Amino acid sequence: QEKYLFSEIEPKWQKKWVDRKDYQAEEHSDKPKFYALAMFPYPSGNLHMGHVRNYSIVDVIARFKRMRGYNVLHPIGWDSFGLPAENAAIKNQTPPSEWTWKNIANMKRQLQEMGISYDWDREVTTCHPDYYKFTQWVFLEFYKHGLVYKKKAGVNWCPSCATVLANEQVVDGACERCDTAVTKKDLEQWFFKITDYAQVLLDDLEKLPGWPDKVKTMQKNWIGRSEGAEVEFDLENHEDKIRVYTTRVDTIFGVSYVVLAPEHPLVQKLIAGTEYENDVQVFIERMKGLNEIARTSTETEKEGLFTGAYCINPYSGEKVPIWIANYVLFEYGTGAVMGVPAHDERDFEFAGKYKLPIKTVILPEGTPVEEKDAPLQAAFVEEGIMVNSGEYDALKNMEAWEKMCDKAEQDGFGERKVNFRLRDWLISRQRYWGAPIPMIYCDHCGIVPVPQDQLPVMLPDDVVFKAGENPLTTSESFKQTTCPTCGGKARRETDTMDTFMCSSWYFLRYTDPHNAQLPFAKEAADHWMNVDQYVGGVEHAILHLLYSRFFTKALRDFGYLKVDEPFANLLTQGMVCLGGAKMSKSKGNVVSPEEIISKYGADTARLFILFAAPPERDLEWSDQGVEGCYRFLNRVWRLAAQYEEVLKEKASETGANDFGELDKAAKDMRRQTHQTIQRVTSDVGARFNFNTAVSAIMELVNALYLYKEQPQVNLAVAREALESILILLAPFAPHITEEIWSELGHEDSIHSREWPQMDEEALVQEEVTVVLQINGKVKDRIQVPAQISAAELEAQVRQLPRLGEWTQGKQILKIVTVPGKLVNVVVK
């Protein structure tokens, strides 16, 4: 064929690969396994360039590993529950399922048009009852093991729409629909006890050398382990005590106030019937309107109010005023803190604003003790020597820390305490398009889990979609049920699950996607897990990865699999940008993959996106870059066309390895072929430097074009070069390489070929000329083997017959060698 007609080639091979099931993972195989996984997409409607990048990266890895002799599992599926489908349902009055399945069909077509080597038999779709049945099953399993509980928790509430809002529906603190200020409302909701796994989730980050450090740091900060102490302050004129959590008990002689979170139940007791009651109540109401982020942001002005009550410092016996303030969170620690303005920046600011005393209790080492009461310009937050702290004076503050904790423990007013920032995971959503939580409320029996053999709890169709209501509560057929225990009348839970539940175990389902009894069989999971290479956006670096790790560890503890970490290696790909900004609809700077593919073909799109930047870096879109890749593929096409005829003729005469006598040009050609094999193998296999791998292939193409112009061409060498180009390029541009491969007369798929072996001998550069100097003066030029070492070169020079003549009996002091270049003999 003369012309490179990608629009004919690509669909032809895509169909063959799918029909022949070329990329099916083998159930039983002697080959080592390799599990390559891209984060599965949300079916929003169309693929964007971020998807193209993600899936192209994993496809190169999967294809490469297959050619390297692995039994590769490379699946795909759909993270298909969630809010957009429900919003579309309200807007278009079509069921969320219709919208979702239509999008899946479209995106599946687009994926197939990219020629990604998926095992389509393992496709999973989280909104399909066959899948969410097991999401429910997993929920019940966690429930059985005491890792699920119900409690009251605040949700975003729009007073005007009278509805619960997801975080995404709150824009700058207001309802996205009606712009009313969003408040908090307490509802009974379901939680997963991820905090039981906080320590091990932290510790096991150590087991993940194949993860980017930045992701591990993000996880670590999110888990937020904090070592401190809880200390009790007695209340003046009250039975109750205030327990504070502090990481700096060593500063406790510097406490000038104690602060409670506005929601702290003690606040009501303290103010009841006092002159402070009204003002405090107003303050609390105002705080309820603000979410946690707004309240604790360093940007936010610290605000507080005195409650009129006092407590007693257990170490100093001093009387301490009790305040409430916006920056104290009820959900963290004990919801109460001690304020130490001299040693905490936030407290320093607060004390300045409200004229509270600032008392130094730690001085920098070396500061004269006389300066202990000098006014401070800023909080001193470093380590130092204790002052103004009674019996602890003159100690290093960390020693005082230990002694003070000992005292609290001995006297029973406190103890050492480890806290985590990590909260339990609120999985309840007051939404329709999610997996129904499989729980039943019976007046007799209370909360009854749906027996696992009665799953799935199906989403009903007879629901009304209107803004401001959980559609599930509009379905009587769904709500009314019978109690599995007593058979009496009962009511179904109408909350559905956070979609992160669906995505926390999908990688396990791929190992056994058709299992009707269990989410996956242990043997299947044990065989395929863990995922050898996971690739996705850094936006999932915290929650998705943390929840998936939690699920894997818990399911391991329940006995369902043996690995304890789901993802052995993680690659977080960079963004695709245009004009320096991430491509996004809202910025209007998107390039549609479909357009690029129809104009240049999938191979060009893939090649560009892999060539333009290393996978972890951001990638700047460039039309010229795309053109360049397209031209390169055309060049490969023409190169093959020109060789095809000659090669076909000679193919029978020359055996695969029968190169005969090689002239210099042929040797150079072979050397570059094998250098390229070496380069691409390590760039792709060890470092994911796809861009440099592609450049090396491009250079090899150039070299072969030149070689072709030689008066005498060794066809075995040329063919080896051409076939190497094709095989090395195959993971990047799978269609064109497959087409040329078959045109060359091969019956098998290029993608089932073995990856080429680098031939050490071909790398040998035979002889080079080395300059010989005596005391820096050029005396001669000698021919030596190119690969010669410094020691060998020196030995050879010492044996030169004419050496004595040149040195004229003088003593040789040393011989300086630059292998491949020169030798300098220093004499005296």
Kindly provide the residue ranges of all beta strands, DSSP E only, lying in 58-98, ordered along the sequence: 71-73, 77-78
- Nearest approach, Cβ of 385 to ligand ANZ (angstroms)? 15
Per partner kind, with CB cut-offs from 5 to 8 A, the member of Zn ion, ligand ANZ, none near residue 481 is none
Nearer to Zn ion, 418 or 486 (CB): 486
- Nearest approach, Cβ of 546 to ligand ANZ (angstroms)? 18
**Residue 28 identity:** H
Per partner kind, with CB cut-offs from 5 to 8 A, the member of Zn ion, ligand ANZ, none near residue 295 is none
Binding region for Zn ion (CB under 5 A): 442, 444-445, 483, 485-486
Instruction: Identify which of 140, 39, 173 has the alpha carbon closest to the alpha carbon of residue 544.
Output: 39
Nearer to ligand ANZ, 383 or 461 (CB): 383
Q: Is 585 annotated as a binding residue?
A: yes
Nearer to ligand ANZ, 163 or 360 (CB): 360
- Helix 623-650, helix 734-743: angle, nearest 10: 20
DSSP-assigned letter for residue 683? I
Nearer to ligand ANZ, 232 or 723 (CB): 232
Nearer to ligand ANZ, 202 or 338 (CB): 338
User: What separation in angstroms does the CA of 811 have from each of 96, 775, 793?
Assistant: 92, 12, 19
DSSP-assigned letter for residue 687? I
Binding region for ligand ANZ (CB under 6 A): 226, 245-248, 251, 327-329, 332-333, 335, 337-338, 340, 343-344, 419
* Residue with token string 């799978």: 734
User: What separation in angstroms does the CA of 579 have from each of 475, 587, 590, 597, 727?
Assistant: 49, 11, 10, 21, 35
Residue 188 DSSP SS3: strand
- Nearest approach, Cβ of 147 to Zn ion (angstroms)? 24
Nearer to ligand ANZ, 344 or 532 (CB): 344
Nearer to ligand ANZ, 351 or 684 (CB): 351
The Cα 722–Cα 729 span in angstroms is: 11
Task: Give the total residue count for the chain.
Answer: 828
The Cα 505–Cα 138 span in angstroms is: 9
Residue 382's CB: how many other CB atoms inside 10 A?
10
**Residue 49 identity:** M
Per partner kind, with CB cut-offs from 5 to 8 A, the member of Zn ion, ligand ANZ, none near residue 465 is none
Structure tokens at 339: 């304020």
Instruction: Identify which of 443, 520, 616, 403 has the alpha carbon closest to the alpha carbon of residue 75.
Output: 520
- Nearest approach, Cβ of 251 to ligand ANZ (angstroms)? 4
Nearer to ligand ANZ, 115 or 333 (CB): 333
For the beta sheet containing 489-492, the strands, ordered from the edge strand earlier in sequence to the opposite edge, are: 446-449, 439-442, 489-492, 480-482
- Nearest approach, Cβ of 369 to ligand ANZ (angstroms)? 20
Per partner kind, with CB cut-offs from 5 to 8 A, the member of ligand ANZ, Zn ion, none near residue 444 is Zn ion
- Nearest approach, Cβ of 490 to Zn ion (angstroms)? 6
Cβ distance 260 to 362 under 8 Å?
A: no
- Nearest approach, Cβ of 320 to ligand ANZ (angstroms)? 12
Kindly provide the residue ranges of all beta strands, DSSP E only, lying in 203-255, ordered along the sequence: 225-235, 241-246
**Residue 456 identity:** P
Nearer to ligand ANZ, 329 or 768 (CB): 329
Residues contacting 218, CB < 8 A, separation 6+: 541, 542
The Cα 168–Cα 175 span in angstroms is: 10
- Nearest approach, Cβ of 409 to ligand ANZ (angstroms)? 18
Per partner kind, with CB cut-offs from 5 to 8 A, the member of Zn ion, ligand ANZ, none near residue 328 is ligand ANZ
Nearer to ligand ANZ, 343 or 359 (CB): 343
Q: Is 317 left (phi over 0), alpha (psi -120 to 50) or beta?
A: left
The Cα 59–Cα 54 span in angstroms is: 9
- Helix 602-611, helix 593-600: angle, nearest 10: 120
Nearer to ligand ANZ, 227 or 595 (CB): 227
Query: Are β-strands 489-492 and 480-482 bridged in parallel, bridged antiparallel, or unpaired?
Result: antiparallel
Per partner kind, with CB cut-offs from 5 to 8 A, the member of ligand ANZ, Zn ion, none near residue 486 is Zn ion
- Nearest approach, Cβ of 471 to Zn ion (angstroms)? 26
- Nearest approach, Cβ of 293 to ligand ANZ (angstroms)? 13
Nearer to Zn ion, 452 or 695 (CB): 452
**C-alpha dihedral, 782 to 788 to 791 to 795, nearest 10°:** -40
Provide, for the chain, the percentages of residues in helix, strand and coil under a 3-state DSSP scheme, each rounded to the nearest 5.
45, 20, 35
The Cα 481–Cα 478 span in angstroms is: 7
- Nearest approach, Cβ of 215 to ligand ANZ (angstroms)? 21
User: What separation in angstroms does the CA of 51 have from each of 41, 507, 575, 606?
Assistant: 8, 18, 10, 11
- Nearest approach, Cβ of 317 to ligand ANZ (angstroms)? 18
Nearer to ligand ANZ, 150 or 346 (CB): 346
Peptide bond into 456 cis (omega under 30): yes
Kindly provide the residue ranges of all beta strands, DSSP E only, lying in 433-548, ordered along the sequence: 439-442, 446-449, 480-482, 489-492, 496-497, 533-537
The Cα 187–Cα 154 span in angstroms is: 6
Per partner kind, with CB cut-offs from 5 to 8 A, the member of Zn ion, ligand ANZ, none near residue 329 is ligand ANZ
- Nearest approach, Cβ of 483 to Zn ion (angstroms)? 3
SS3 letters for 105-116?
A: HHHHHHHHHCCC
Per partner kind, with CB cut-offs from 5 to 8 A, the member of Zn ion, ligand ANZ, none near residue 247 is ligand ANZ
The Cα 345–Cα 351 span in angstroms is: 10
Per partner kind, with CB cut-offs from 5 to 8 A, the member of Zn ion, ligand ANZ, none near residue 731 is none
* Residue with token string 């050898």: 532
Binding residues for ATP: 585
Binding residues: 585
